Amino acid sequence: MARRHDPGRRQRIIDAAIRVVGRKGIAGLSHRTVAAEADVPLGSTTYHFATLDELLVAALRQANEGFATVVAEHPALADPHSDLAGALAGMLGDWLAGDRTGVELEYELYLAALRRPALRPVAAEWAEDVSALLSHRTEPATARALVALMDGICLQVLLTDAPYDEEYARGALARLLG
């Protein structure tokens, strides 16, 4: 039987892995569950991703693009006179008010780096990328502190089911910005 050309298969496998983790958590991820979700042969998942860590790296890298893209495209980064704290607090609010499952998934993948060293460089890339974007408006040390504060606020909202308080976030971010 001739091999069918399927250039989108790798991406479908990554998308399927994200859906599996979204439904079952990282503990529910296996080559078999991803192959079934992507509707591809089991061998396709192991061909494209020899290990589950390789698949998780690809999934985390894709998930990380979400918030970083929102920050990169926001006009407040280009306007030195805009209220950066207000813009960041608004972005966090929009992100947390959107698809909660997607936000939880991003953090589950991000925090998986605690136990899976292969994920640590990708998790660090996210913080570095957002810090680099914010460095256009403030010095690098403050940009890193802003990322840490935004991470902390998001984790508190996700872990406590407390409603997001945009005014609190704006005030805290403004204090960091001086």
> 13-38, pLDDT tens digit by residue?
999 999 998 888 888 999 999 999 99
Domains and CATH numbers, the chain: 1-50 (1.10.10.60), 54-177 (1.10.357.10)
Structure token digits, residue 2: 């001739």
Dist CA 4 CA 118 (whole Å): 32
Could you report the per-residue pLDDT of 156-165, keeping only the tens digit for each? 999 998 899 9
Q: Read off the pLDDT band of 2 (50, 70, 90).
A: very low
Alpha helices per DSSP H over 74-139: 84-97, 100-111, 120-134
What's the pLDDT at 167?
98
Q: Read off the pLDDT band of 1 (50, 70, 90).
A: very low
Dist CA 86 CA 79 (whole Å): 13
Could you report the per-residue pLDDT of 43-79, keeping only the tens digit for each? 999 999 999 999 998 988 887 777 778 888 888 888 8
Angle, vertex CA 66, rays to CA 42 and CA 166, nearest 5: 140
Query: Strands, E, within the chain: which ranges?
Result: none
DSSP string for residues in 34-70: HHHHHTS-HHHHHHH-SSHHHHHHHHHHHHHHHHHHH
CB neighbour list of residue 87: distance below 8 Å, 6 or more residues apart: 74, 76
pTM for this predicted structure: 0.81
Dist CA 78 CA 114 (whole Å): 34
